[in-house]
Amino acid sequence: MTAEIIYGKQLASDLREEMKLEVDALKKAEITPKLTVVLIGDDPASHSYVRGKEKASAEVGVESNVLRMKEETTETQLLEVIDELNNDVSVNGILVQLPLPGHINEQVIIEAISPEKDVDGFHPINIGRMVAGKDTFYPCTPYGIITMLKSKNVKIEGKQAVIVGRSNIVGKPVGQLLLNENATVTYCHSRTEDMRKHTLEADILIVAVGKQHFLTADDIKPGAVVIDVGVNRMENGKLTGDVEFDTAKEKADLITPVPGGVGPMTITMLLHNTIKAAKKHNGYLGK
């Protein structure tokens, strides 16, 4: 049987309509959620992602401001900018687009952003709160994945979830959020022996390695839910995922496409976190 396709793009658009109403209501109370994005250097993919964030912010009425800084920006200069943004009461969310140029220590930058404005959910305080099962800013791609699964009423509790890839941005936190939802979680990575043994056990399979068609139908348990986080550019210029979609969709029950799957959800959850930050900063939510 051919899998049902989870169109993150549609869900993202539905959620953004709801968010627009929420932002309209906040504006009536003279609160305009504001996101500042810091973009260093000339990486075309990063510039494209940031344009997407600007466009989506405008769509829901979130004010966005992009600070485009040159590749040679020093760590000290960037820390000064972050300090200003931390102290600027008009800014609710701060996002420093990754990856950063090699001469800047990413972890130092992540830890410099106020946890109260860390709409990426990368600060150790927010990661710690997530691990403790507390409400906080959750990393956007993992949070988007959980939101997609819930929108399709996928049962997570008690299920075997297998994560392929252990990045700080996607693999590690999505496993944690699935654990918080009572899944049994296995992480696979570049040193895993006999990866297929694990992926064939997965009721929920999340793939985030950044390698074109890294998994095929032969790696998938019949009836699995497959979430493909990969975004890889093929030689013909088109985007494709980490999973060979055409074969995998004949084996899975539910599967995300690339493009139009997880990607649009990431930006949507960033907007969600920014609105949440604005509400918190204005006393609308508990501390």
Residue 177's contacts (CB-CB under 8 Å, 6 or more residues apart) are 130, 138, 142, 143, 145, 146
* Choice between 254 and 262, CB closer to ligand GUN: 262
Whether residue 160 lies in the annotated active site = no
Six token digits for residue 158: 């008690």
Q: Is 159 a catalytic residue?
A: no
Q: How many chain residues are in contact with ligand GUN, going by CB under 6 A?
A: 8
44-60 vs 263-281: helix axis angle to the nearest 10? 60
Q: Which stretch binds ligand GUN (CB under 6 A): 96-104, 124-132, 175-183, 229-237?
A: 96-104
Of 254 and 270, CB closest to ligand GUN: 270
Selected from 169, 209, 229, 254, the binder of ligand GUN by CB under 6 A is 169
Phi-psi bin for 90: left (phi > 0), alpha (psi -120 to 50), beta? alpha
Distance in Å from the first CA to the final CA of the chain: 48
Least distance between ligand GUN and beta carbon 16 (Å): 17
Of 97, 159, 221, 253, the catalytic one is 97
How many residues are present in the chain? 287
From 34, 118, 120, 253, the catalytic residue: 120
Note whether 110 binds ligand GUN by CB under 6 A: no
State the nearest-atom distance from the C-beta of 25 to ligand GUN, in Å. 27
Residue among 171, 175, 146 at smallest CA distance from 265:
146
Decide whether 140 or 162 has the Cβ nearer to ligand GUN: 140
For ligand GUN, the nearest residue by Cβ is 98
Instruction: State phi, psi for 123 to the nearest 5 degrees.
Output: -65, 140
Residue 97 lies near ligand GUN (rule: CB under 6 A): yes
Closest separation in Å from C-beta 96 to ligand GUN: 6
Q: Taking CB under 6 A as the rule, does residue 98 contact ligand GUN?
A: yes
**Looking at 24-32, 90-98, 171-179, 228-236, which segment touches ligand GUN (CB under 6 A)?**
90-98
Which residues does residue 162 pair with via DSSP β-bridges, in sequence order?
186, 205
Among 63, 116, 120, 219, contact with ligand GUN (rule: CB under 6 A): 120
Find the shortest distance in angstroms from Cβ 37 to ligand GUN.
Answer: 8
134 is a catalytic site residue: no
> Which residues are bridge partners to 40 per DSSP?
69
Instruction: Please give the full DSSP string across 22-88, using - where no structure is assigned.
Output: HHHHHHHTT---EEEEEEES--HHHHHHHHHHHHHHHHHT-EEEEEEE-TT--HHHHHHHHHHHHH-
Contacts of 78 (CB under 8 A, 6+ apart): 38, 40, 69, 96, 100, 104, 109
Q: By three-state DSSP, how is residue 186 classified?
A: strand
- Residue selected from 94, 95, 127, 207 as contacting ligand GUN according to rule CB under 6 A: 95
**Whole-number minimum distance, CB 283 to ligand GUN, in Å?**
27
* Range 129-158, binding ligand GUN (CB under 6 A): 140-141
Could you give the 3-state DSSP secondary structure of residue 273?
Answer: helix
Whether the CB-CB separation of 157 and 179 falls below 8 Å is answered with no
> Which of residues 167 and 186 has its CB atom nearest to ligand GUN in the complex?
167
Using rule CB under 6 A, residue 50 touches ligand GUN: no
Q: Which residues are catalytic?
A: 53, 97, 120
Q: Which residues bind ligand GUN (CB under 6 A)?
A: 95-98, 120, 140-141, 169
